[in-house]
A and B are shown apart, each in its own frame.
Chain A
Amino acid sequence: MAATEAVSGWLRRAADSDVWWSFKRSPLTVSAAIVSFLIVAAAFLSPILAPHTPFDPATLSLLDGLKPPVLVGEGGEWRFPLGTDEQGRDVLSSIMYGTRLSLLVGFASVVVAMVLGIGLGLVSGYVGGTLDAIIMRVADVQLTFPAILVALLIDGVVRGLISVQRHDEIAIYVIVGAIGLSFWVQYARTVRGSVLVEKNKEYVQAARVIGLAPVLIMLRHVLPNVMGPVLVIATINLGLAVITEATLSFLGVGLPSTQPSLGTLIRLGNEVLQSGEWWITVFPGVTLALLVLAVNLLGDWLRDALNPKLR
């Protein structure tokens, strides 16, 4: 009873808020939200929605190989609306499963980067002094390398340490860790900046007068007040993380072809592009571009909507 009341109250406040108002007023943002929602829904419901299970060898037939999309070219079949690759895998289903993996890696690496960045940023800003200097200099050094290079480096080191078979099994964790580690700096710097502002506010001092432990002050008082900019970065970084994963996979150091993400699909299709089978690489490419564009538009809107100076 009380819970439903709370939820309805929350919804009423949300519907009444400036953020919702600015959302409704921007058709571009609404379309971006719809596109993102459709892609995410299709990806996560792929086991139910996808017409085929492209990675189950039992359902594949080489006779179905290299069929073009239905509406173009000869020999297209409605069973395979976007055509098939040379092993007879349905491109549409591959894309749905691939998008799911890409999104999973994207979300997971954003979470890794966020947790790491927020933690280090909080400590850096709140404790200050030498610890702050060390953390921030490490961040500065890392910023001088492009994120993709850092991710390549981490992935390369892990590959050197373990066998190929073992690597394929844990590839997804490695890639999440590599992308996460290459994106934490932005969170840490943003959080540190906000913490420096918040920690001198009187509500934090009031908590210190009570004698609350620094960890509790950071988590209960400071953190909730610095989450706004962090959420904006996280949204924009989701697109970046998906792109980074695709780039790594395209370069062949990302997810293995037994577990293809969008990037892997683009790479596999790229190998046969010269012989005229364009659909194998173009459709995953278009999906990736649409997804990242939509997510970035959402991030841009969120940044503006939460920035009081732009209202």
Chain B
Amino acid sequence: MESAPPAKKVLSLVLLIGGVALLAASIAMDVARSSSGLRGPMLIVGILAVLAGLYFFPSQRRHRDLVNVIFLFPLLFTFAVTVIIPLVLGIFYSLTNWTGIQYTQFVGLANYAAMFKETSFLWSLLITILFVVVNMILVNVVGFLLALLCTSKLKGIGFFRAAYFLPNLIGGIVLGYVWQFVFNNVLIQLAGDGISLLSNTNTAFMAIIVVYIWQYAGYIMLIYVNGLVTVPGEVLEAAAIDGSSPVTTLFRIKIPMIASTITICTFLTLTSAFKQFDVNMALTNGTGSVQNFMGNYLTNGTQMLALNIYNTAISKNNYALGQAKAVLFFIILAIVSLVQVRISNKKEVEL
């Protein structure tokens, strides 16, 4: 590859120029609000032409990098469209009085100031943290116990594994409505007083926790089962020969051996509990009253953070404030995730 063949160079240049022209034309059409059906295909063909041009570009040193970029392109493109661009736009909108359709002025940090003055938002923040802590512990404990059951020598283990995992296959919204029916139409008949568990903030909150564990513990169980299966048989056998009781084996051998699995599961439950939305929305839609929280009567007793953001934007029609809350939500989640990863890395090194 001392000198590139001229044909290749010409092809590359033609593709590059053609691609850029197509891209420019399609963007111009977009700005001009043309309704031509060719716009989309032109954009995509343009992108392809540019990429192909880059691939054929006769450079020695950078060729491998270019190919790497081309291969990464679909992923980078999707990531940019679904994550990076919305994040930037979101931060931008949180500084305006956006209505979901248009904005007329910049308001600076007013939305951020407003959200901390809203007691209902602080309440949502509080119960979300409570929910996360409770669930992180309960889901892991329940999941781990189920995993122990499912790795023992009981009959019909395959059936039980599948049965415990099954709730996870049902979407959260459907699950919420099914359980709402159970609470409001079935359990209410058994209780007989006409008051559903979902009508009281405390019991409704517990109901959400129960439903969430029911949904998620099977999934966590599956990961623990995987971990427990990888504990080497000879180690367990050696322990048994040395006269270790099952409890000692569990705490001294099995649990330390699956420490990395525990980290993964804690991390998974932490973030997913933080983002809890669908079950919350379908089951109670955040209703429930709090008699006195910081001197206020609240009507969003079971409304968690994600649902609070959704309701602020959608049902209260305050998109800008909702967006500001979402930015805070992002920051909290990012910090939690980073801390968690940092801690788990350290622990794994020690092991």
Are A and B subunits of one complex?
Answer: no
Q: Hey, which bits of chain B sit against chain A, CB under 8 A?
A: none
